[in-house]
């Protein structure tokens, strides 16, 4: 497998990538201790492995090659129509679960549900939770529907097509979103991400500075939040203070938590107390 790893020398973790691809071809768990780099595989499997290796060498995301990814301990179907779930987004789930503690049968809305990874994680932890997922992309809604069916949650999570709060009705104890927060000309946007992941979920086309969707969500959430409820927003590096400042200018209180890398990642917006 040394040659395979050399072929993926541009990857951040070529050894792990090779292990993932080999496990996928052999239909075993990549953590299986019996999976060895020197084991014999059939000519058919070797040909398929080489094909997947070529795709990975071009920069295609591993999640797209595998067709699925793990998030918060759950396997999520992934296609180019949705964002690949990131580890830092698990903070959104963790804070949401804390805020929902002690609230019986909470009603939650996710704006821009994408693959439904976040809502699935919440619903798995809270069997009494009911949710509405809003998504503007029809292709993403199809992926979300498949994931909800895969995890037997289609009766507890309702999908609605549309933008921001337009499809919502009633009040929610929690509204959360990981909106597009990359400015169109952001130099930190890698070529691989720009090539393979949906611009609709990545790029802020409202105001062009990465914060257009955050502002729109802050402006509108008050009409849909239950008393004492919160809006949770994921954001990018160096954005949290601007989001909190905007919330204050609209009469709300903002606070922030950082991810495991120390980057301010999730902002909570609520009525002033």
Q: What is the CA radius of gyration of the chain?
A: 20
Q: pTM above 0.95?
A: no
How would you classify the pairing of strands 252-258 and 264-271?
antiparallel
| Mean pLDDT (whole number) for 243-264 | 96
- Domains belonging to the chain, first-starting first, are 2-58 (1.10.8), 80-271 (3.40.50.150)
Q: Is residue 3 very low, low, confident or very high in pLDDT (cuts 50, 70, 90)?
A: low
Please, what's the b/e burial string for 20-57 (b: 16 or more CB within 10 A of its CB; e: otherwise)? bbbbbbbeeebeeeeeeeeeeeeeeeeebbeebbeebb
For residue range 108-119, what is the model confidence (pLDDT) as tens digits? Answer: 999 999 999 999
Please, what's the b/e burial string for 124-150 (b: 16 or more CB within 10 A of its CB; e: otherwise)? bebeebebbbbbbbeebbbbbbbbbeb
Query: What is the percent of the chain where pLDDT is above 90?
Result: 70
Q: Is residue 35 very low, low, confident or very high in pLDDT (cuts 50, 70, 90)?
A: confident
């Amino acid at each position: 497998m040394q040659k395979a790893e050399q072929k993926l020398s541009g990857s951040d973790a070529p050894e792990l990538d090779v292990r993932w691809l080999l496990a996928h071809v052999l239909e075993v768990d990549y953590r299986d201790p019996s999976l060895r780099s020197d084991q014999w595989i059939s000519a058919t499997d070797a040909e398929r492995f080489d094909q997947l290796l070529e795709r990975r060498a071009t920069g295609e995301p591993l999640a797209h090659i595998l067709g699925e990814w793990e998030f918060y301990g759950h396997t999520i179907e992934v296609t180019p129509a949705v964002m690949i779930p990131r580890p830092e987004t698990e903070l959104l789930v963790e804070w949401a679960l804390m805020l929902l503690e002690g609230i019986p049968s909470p009603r939650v809305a996710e704006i821009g549900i994408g693959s439904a990874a976040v809502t699935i994680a919440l619903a798995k932890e809270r069997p009494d939770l009911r949710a509405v997922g809003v998504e503007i992309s029809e292709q993403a809604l199809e992926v979300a529907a498949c994931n909800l069916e895969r995890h037997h949650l289609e009766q507890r999570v309702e999908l609605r097509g549309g933008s921001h709060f337009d499809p919502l009705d009633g009040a929610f104890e929690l509204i959360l979103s990981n909106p597009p927060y990359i400015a169109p000309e952001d130099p930190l946007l890698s070529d691989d991400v720009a090539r393979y992941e949906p611009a609709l979920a990545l790029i802020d086309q409202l105001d062009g500075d990465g914060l257009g969707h955050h502002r729109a969500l802050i402006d509108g959430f008050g009409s849909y939040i239950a008393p004492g409820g919160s809006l949770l927003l994921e954001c990018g590096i160096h954005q949290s203070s601007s989001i909190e400042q905007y919330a204050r200018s609209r009469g709300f209180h903002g606070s922030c938590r950082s991810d495991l890398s120390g980057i301010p990642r999730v902002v909570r917006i609520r009525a002033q107390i």
